[in-house]
Structure 1
Amino acid sequence: MSNNATQTIHSIPVDPLTGSIAVPIYQTSTFVQEAPGVNLGYDYSRTNNPTRATLEKILAGLEGGHTGAAFASGLAAIDAVVKLLQSGDEIVAVDDIYGGAFRLFTHVYEQFGIKVKYVDSTNTNNVFEAITPQTKLIWIETPTNPTLKISDIATIARIAKANNCLLCVDNTFASPALQQPLLLGADIVVHSATKYLGGHCDLIAGVVVTKTEELGAKIKFIQNASGAVLGPFECWLIIRGVETLHLRVKQHCINALEVARYLEQHPAVEKVFYPGLEQHANYAIARQQASGFGGVVSFTLKEDTEDAATKFVTATTYFRLAESLGGVKSLLCHPAAMTHKSIPVEKRRAAGVSDSLIRLSVGLEETGDLINDLEQAFAHSVSEQKNTKFNGHYLG
């Protein structure tokens, strides 16, 4: 389907039973049957639920895929994909990986004989060279969390296909409003629907969308067998979030670019990570494969210490210190001490997650207010900037 606001909004069906313009919440565990095995398409809500089925169809359409599956968390969605593998298989994964995915791969699945190799997938040769006959899955995030690296989905998809591997893309940061990896050749897309799909920091959810019916049937089997399904109310919340997805993401992108431009000229900032800046190493491919650059901006301080970062992240007003991202309200976090703490220090630093790196989830507030908030945080937390203002009052 065409992925624009009109198509997305009208992919949400009117209830055929009542004409309700909002999708009903079928808050039920089970369904009455006419006879054993004779029902109206539903028998037990772990296996299927009308509200969840509607959400899954909407999400499959958003990503241009065949089958959607909604899970109780983003990690449950990731877990379902890894369960497609068996002992002895290998995964080639992006080095700048979400800490929860690293923990799952390393501390859960490696003990079952699934080996994981981490590479900088922004260089597609690294992916190619890491593949062995045992490699069955290539796993990338693009943009990555938290250094916003961009990988060439189409090229890696060709590498995967030539080597009989599946390519799974974590599309959480871009969302289908900006990027559709399945249309670029990927086999599977995953989301933490907690983030932009939900959009309001009021639910935990995960999504898997597959390109083919065959692969979708395998994921649906795992979903039912493992049981980490998303409840009807949370499904309804995501459907509601999807109605405003394109509008929200468009404004997130506008605000984030303004914040990134402010940060790149601030004297206390060492480096800014945002693919919408022309000096970003992967700017060209980001512009080619996505229609926008997202709402997340990361940066490092010239004083590259955890203490400096801690002082900064506890000095803001509108940017609230919290894990997660993608909501209406702006958030910030210190990945080294929060989201990526489970990754060994050496591996974390090698992937670009330095001790002073700060991740911003730029919300929908007035951009000038957000930049002034960052300015006062610099003034209060960075010793070199005390009692000074940067460029005075910034109105965006």
Structure 2
Amino acid sequence: MKERPDLERWLPLPNAVRLGDPTALPAGFRAGGVSAGSKPSGALDLGVIHCTEPAMTSAARFTPSATAAAPVVITRDRCDTSRLRAVLVNSGNANASTGKMGFEEAARMQGAGSILLGIPIEHLGLCSTGKIGEPLDGRVFVQTLPRLGDDLSSDATTFNQAICTTDLFLKRAAVDLELAGGTVRITAQAKGAGMIHPGFATMLAFVQTDAELSASRCGKLLDNALADTFNRVSVDGQLSTNDTVVLQASGASGVAPADDAEDKLVQAALDHVMLDLALQLIADGEGATRLAKVRVKGGDPLGHAADKVADHIATSPLVQTALLGADPNWGRIIQAAGHALAGRGPVDFDVSFGGVQVCRANQATRYDRDAANAAAAEQLVEIEVSFLGDGEATRYFCDLTVDYVKFNSEYTT
């Protein structure tokens, strides 16, 4: 696996936050990962994240796909998502579009996992990732559970490895946050490299903290963070059948936010961790070589129009291939923006690359071509688009490469 890319320019640290060790779980958590032999390579394919504190709280959010996978449906509809003590994850097989058998095999794994961990079945969530439409043999994983139980520790590394499929590096993040009552830790792990688009980016993500939080607060924190992180990234514009994100709070630190100001600090710390993961996802987009951040200003104050424009730009194959070629091609951006607001009458757009304005009111300007080309050739490309109005929206995306096409023509998903 390759190393995590340098994304710090887009990840300023919030107040009272310092970077932590992403391998060291917060107090009250243990995790592990083993190989059940479902991958031809023998790579790790079964993992679990477990909160040992009975009074813990949690929140979970899932793909809105109309073809959601069996583990998503079971966790969403049958579990108490405010008390998910543990999540059992298999990789290599999505257990999606597998009919009644898929639900039976998922239920088999859930039942065996709850017995292993000694927790109620409704407190054990399930996640799967991998090929769609391939039958899952849950017995292979159930037989491996005792070894998984022996592997559990406060180190998240093997769990992180076990959830990966086509990932080229481990996606993980951690921060420590100083509150009046003491220090709380937030750690997170994710997987994902393709089929990534808002709502929420194709991925599994798991976030842990030892802060004391109510279940309702967990839900609000997670929703707020999702809105500005995983729901703002795209690799290929494709929504997955298996997207799941889980936030667990053990409360083991004994530290709770003391007031609204500290609530905001916790939110900022969580936002930072989840944006870090989201950016790592697109940095590992299948074949990706360059990332872009598009900031759109204009339209209605609520940002609906700006959102549409940003979304169309981030998912435009023409824009993504221009990004690959380090081409400050404002014409493709204008085309995508105009498509987003089709039927609304004439709209004048301004476009800049890295602060170099290349287009004003849909027409070329006189600009420093060397500076614009240099801005478009950076590893982290910044694009600004503006039109009349006060709305704002941001999207992060990657280039579209020959390797992406080659990989997805050769690998069954």
TM over 0.5: no
More helix by share: 1
More strand by share: 2
Normalised to the residue count of structure 2, the TM-score between the two structures is 0.27
Normalised to the residue count of structure 1, the TM-score between the two structures is 0.28
